[in-house]
């Protein structure tokens, strides 16, 4: 009788390879990094996209700084010895970051439609990493847009706020956080609606009322009563006031805390909502 030793591994045939006992996939952090890099390359390496995304804030800066400059000079909204440009540019920074955030949802719906998301679903990855990567890619795009916008404003318009480099950098950070909150709202809507045209219409519908019913162009106290009431509860007002205070060297602690709290809370809630909606079959 032949005795079989169970502790001795069976001989393998030539050319046969035993699969590993435990196969580890790519970690979540690595997934997010790779997906973000892919999205950033698609967004940043197209010069036309960067040019077009800068065109609107530059036109706003040129138009509104000329339209309201004379009126603002006769009021008390300007800092001592300051200019309306210093008052306006922080609002355009926050608005630019919000626009980029709103585009995150539209981009996601386009990827659902052209089959890229279907490919991701076939991979052994956490689906939420696709959404996080989309958010980070648009935050990177916002950062690039704002840096270029500030450089052009400094060189072409003589932007030199009292808050200096530190205040302007902190204002840029506030704009990025506000844009991140809006981005996750957009991604959550896209994960459930899944319609690119509808997302674009909703972005236009949301952005204009938020912008004009705020402290972007004139102080809230100078608005009509009904509009001032809306502006006082408009989250964008707090983001603009926070960025403006930092660039002018007069930080508004309350507005800054409110803007950061609302934006971070929106990120957390909308991330959970977005992941749940994104898991549904296409």
Distance CA 242, CA 150 (A): 17
Query: Tens place of pLDDT for every residue, the chain, 282 residues?
Result: 444 444 444 444 444 444 444 334 578 899 899 999 988 887 667 777 777 777 888 888 888 777 776 665 555 555 555 678 888 999 999 999 998 888 899 889 988 888 888 888 888 888 899 999 999 999 998 998 899 999 989 998 889 889 999 999 999 999 999 999 999 999 999 999 888 788 888 887 888 888 889 998 888 888 889 999 999 999 899 999 999 999 999 999 999 999 999 999 999 999 999 999 998 887
Task: Name the residue ranges covered by the structural domains of the chain.
Answer: 28-67+82-278
Whole-model pTM: value is 0.84
Can you give the pLDDT at residue 208?
Answer: 82
User: Residue 19: what pLDDT?
Assistant: 41
User: H helices within 68-224, ranges in order?
Assistant: 69-73, 84-113, 116-121, 128-157, 164-193, 196-212
Instruction: Give the torsion sign (CA, 98, 96, 205, 116).
Output: negative
pLDDT for 80 equals 56
In the DSSP assignment, the letter for residue 249 is T
pLDDT of residue 171: 96
């Amino acid at each position: 009788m032949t005795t079989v030793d169970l502790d001795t591994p069976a001989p393998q045939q030539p050319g046969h390879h035993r699969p590993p006992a435990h196969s580890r996939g790519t970690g979540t952090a690595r997934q997010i990094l790779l997906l973000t890099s892919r999205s950033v390359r698609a967004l940043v390496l197209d010069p036309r996209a960067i040019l077009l995304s800068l065109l609107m804030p530059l036109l706003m800066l040129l138009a509104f700084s000329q339209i309201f400059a004379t009126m603002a000079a006769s009021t008390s909204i300007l800092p001592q010895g300051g200019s309306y440009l210093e008052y306006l540019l922080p609002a355009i920074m926050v608005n630019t970051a919000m626009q980029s955030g709103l585009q995150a949802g539209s981009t996601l719906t386009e990827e659902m439609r052209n089959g890229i998301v279907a490919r991701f679903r076939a991979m052994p990855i956490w689906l939420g990493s696709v959404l996080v990567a989309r958010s980070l890619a648009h935050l990177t795009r916002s950062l690039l847009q704002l840096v270029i916008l500030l450089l052009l404003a400094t060189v072409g318009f003589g932007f030199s706020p009292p808050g200096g480099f530190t205040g302007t950098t902190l204002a840029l950070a506030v704009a990025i956080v506000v844009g991140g909150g809006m981005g996750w709202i957009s991604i959550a809507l896209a994960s459930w609606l899944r319609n690119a045209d509808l997302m674009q219409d909703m972005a236009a519908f949301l952005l204009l009322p938020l912008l004009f019913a705020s402290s972007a162009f004139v102080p809230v106290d100078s608005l009509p009563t009904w509009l001032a009431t809306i502006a006082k509860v408009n989250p964008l007002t707090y983001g603009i006031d926070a960025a403006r205070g930092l660039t002018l060297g007069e930080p508004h602690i309350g507005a800054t805390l409110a803007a950061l709290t609302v934006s971070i809370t929106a990120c957390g809630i909308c991330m959970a909502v977005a992941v749940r909606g994104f898991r549904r079959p296409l």
